[in-house]
Chain A
Amino acid sequence: MNIIVCVKRVPETAEADLVIDKTGRDVIKSGLVFDLNEWDSYAIEEAIRLKEKKEGHVTVISMGGEEANESLRKCLAMGADDAVRLTDPAFEGADGYATAKVLAESIGKLPFDLILTGTQAEDDGYGQVGGALAELLGIPHATVVNQIEVEGKKLKVHRELEGGLEEILEIDLPALLTIQTGINEPRYVSIMGIRKVAKKEIKVLGAKDLTLVANETGLSGSDTRIEKISFPPTTGAVKMIEGNPEEVALNVLNILKNKGGLA
């Protein structure tokens, strides 16, 4: 089975103090720690498990600068066979749609049975690239997948819905799935493991290798653009909820409704 996995290298921001840069449209990246997007680590692990179960070939692909090599090598160390990096100044500033277009162009040349992406990226959280990519390639797709069974030329997949519910679908190959966290346990990649793949070639493609014209990629190929960014109104210190138990209860339930997706 030929599997292609699309991955992204993203900054870890949960514990970091973010500073808005001079453009006012992004944060200062220096000083941040980067890693493979969490959803993508589940996707690549799933691809490798599928390969280990039956014969197969896993290609990992990422749109990014040279630093994306770090995440691609992690995937190679986990067991991917080939890595491709899509790098070009023309790709910069891309939104979900522009990213999907570049991926579609590069993947279009490769043989594949299955494409896996993460459900979304930790940084921008569009949740868009997978679906858009499937549509551009003209293949069926399913998102938020947390279980995959291969049945010959089709797959039986589970999608994770809201409130503890799942749905089971059947989907014909070739197809694209966006993978949800928790589908498996991504394996650890040791330092020695990374060293072993340090010399492995990563194929690099630029705009000239694709048939897209300049205004179809990057910021000019995007349907949306960020005008500015800001910090949300500070929640800052903990908001204390006062009152007798009944008042407190009503207050808490309101919060649960607004933030927890309750009915």
Chain B
Amino acid sequence: MKEILVLAEHRQGQWRDITFEMLSKARQLAESFGSEVHAVVLGKGVANSTDALRPMAHRVLLVEDERLEAFNSETYQTVLAQLITERKPLLTLIGHSTLGMDLAPNLAVQLKMPLATDCIGIDGKDGSFVLTRQIYGGKINSTVLFNKPGPYLVTLRAGTFPVLQRDSLQGDIIPLASPLTDGNLPKRFLAYVEAALGGVDITQADILVSVGRGIKGPENLPLVKEFAEAIGGTLSCSRPVVDKKWLPKGCQVGTSGKTVKPKIYLAVGISGAFQHIAGMKGAGTVIAINKDPKAPIFGVAHYGIVGDLFKIIPALKEKAKGLKQR
């Protein structure tokens, strides 16, 4: 049976978690039809880090090239196109990340491969695959099938597939020659840059830690802020906090403030007035901490904690230490 290729994703010297999630799922799939998982690593000076992948792959295909130092879909597409054309793997998995979104659709068209994106489920079936995708903002799941034979290309949603603890596959590292040549690329990577810290736009944050009147006073904000920073989140708030000038107006969530749609909305000491909820109802997952079990926020939260935020936030901060931001 043909192998499953998994494009390992790394940035600034770190493997991204989606890599391990995909490898784990790929192994499960490969075992179900007696195939192998081959991790594909493209980069410059990444050879030493491939040890982290060996336990989870039967082989690690390594293409090192100066031109692959930072991600550029132009170079990645050239290398992968050649790899896939030569090896004809049954399935190639790429993360549905900013890298995957820049790469997969183009690769699929170039090689005329069927592509299913942002999948939250994938199962093998009769030499093809059955995918699960979310539509209508996550309110509906769709079961998707391919209309033609493979090789197939699928991008997987991050944070969906668990990394299962298994015995090590002890995959060999196979260096491959880079097909890249010098020449002007129509797209050129210039630099990475951190988003400005001051005046952070809460509408663009993935994780919001939002405080309400329950925080009681501005002296308690640093505690929450440190926790927010530890998890790569941004501080936001409900209107009373801005009224009292504990936080600037730009942090306010609500009908007369900002509408936010983060992946996570952690409501700390917020009761959940109608006008506030209207500003955050689009959040992916809402976790609410409030000492009042009848607080309206629990009506829109996915997870609720009735408790003392002054005990829970310090515990969260403690446990969050050592968590890397992506």
Contact = CB atoms under 8 A, between A and B. Distances in A.
A238 B293 CA distance: 11
Given A163-B326, A255-B287, A170 B190 contact: yes
Contacts of B103: 131
A125 B145 contact: no
B177 interface: no
Contact of A225 (B144, B191, B282, B326): B144
Nearest to B71: A167
Nearest to A246: B315
Interface in A164-190: 164-172, 175, 178, 181-182
Contact of A144 (B98, B104, B304): B98
B324 interface: yes
Given A122-B137, A263-B17, A172 B142 contact: no
A228 B110 CA distance: 29
Instruction: Kindly name the residue among A122, A165, A172, A246 whose own CB sees the greatest number of chain B CB atoms within 10 A.
Output: A165
Interface stretch (B51-59, B203-211, B240-248): B203-211
Nearest to B12: A165
B118 A127 contact: yes
Contacts of B217: none
A22 to B, nearest CB: 16
B192 A167 contact: yes
A150 interface: no
Interface string B95-122: 0111001111110111000111110000
A46 B311 CA distance: 46
A66 interface: no
Contacts of A240: 303-306
B194 A165 contact: yes
B201 to A, nearest CB: 7
A199 B323 CA distance: 58
A167 B134 contact: no
B315 A249 contact: yes
Contact of B139 (A18, A129, A170, A248): A18
Interface residues on A, range: 35 or more
A225 B264 contact: no
B85 interface: no
Nearest to A17: B139
Given A13-B137, A240-B306, A241-B305, A259 B118 contact: no
B312 A249 contact: yes
Nearest to A247: B315
Interface stretch (B22-30, B37-45, B181-189): B181-189
A131 B106 CA distance: 5
Contacts of B106: 131-132, 134-135, 141
Contact of A260 (B110, B143, B206, B316): B206
A136 interface: yes
Given A166-B193, A172-B186, A225-B145, A14 B137 contact: yes
A143 interface: yes
B63 interface: no
Contacts of B131: 224
A252 B138 contact: no
Nearest to A163: B326
Interface in B104-160: 104-106, 108-110, 114-118, 130-131, 133-148, 158-159
Interface in B52-111: 70-74, 96-98, 101-106, 108-110
Contact of B192 (A131, A165, A181, A257): A165
Contacts of A122: 136-137
Interface in A232-250: 232, 235, 238-241, 245-246, 248-250
Nearest to A250: B319
Instruction: Kindly name the residue among A11, A181, A232 whose own CB sees the greatest number of chain B CB atoms within 10 A.
Output: A232
Interface in A98-153: 100, 119, 122-132, 134-136, 139-144
Contacts of A257: 159
B143 A128 contact: no
B232 interface: yes
Contacts of B35: none
A261 interface: yes
20 contacts: A25-B142, A123-B135, A123-B136, A124-B135, A126-B117, A128-B105, A131-B104, A131-B106, A159-B98, A167-B189, A167-B190, A168-B191, A223-B114, A227-B143, A238-B299, A246-B319, A260-B231, A262-B207, A262-B323, A263-B17
List 4 tightest A-B contacts by C-beta distance, closest first. Answer: A131-B105, A223-B114, A263-B324, A163-B326
Given A135-B105, A226-B143, 8 more contacts: A131-B105, A159-B98, A225-B145, A225-B147, A232-B138, A248-B307, A252-B287, A260-B263
Interface of B: 11, 16-17, 70-74, 96-98, 101-106, 108-110, 114-118, 130-131, 133-148, 158-159, 186-195, 201, 203-204, 206-207, 231-233, 263-264, 266, 281-282, 284-285, 287-288, 298-299, 301-307, 311-312, 314-316, 318-320, 323-326
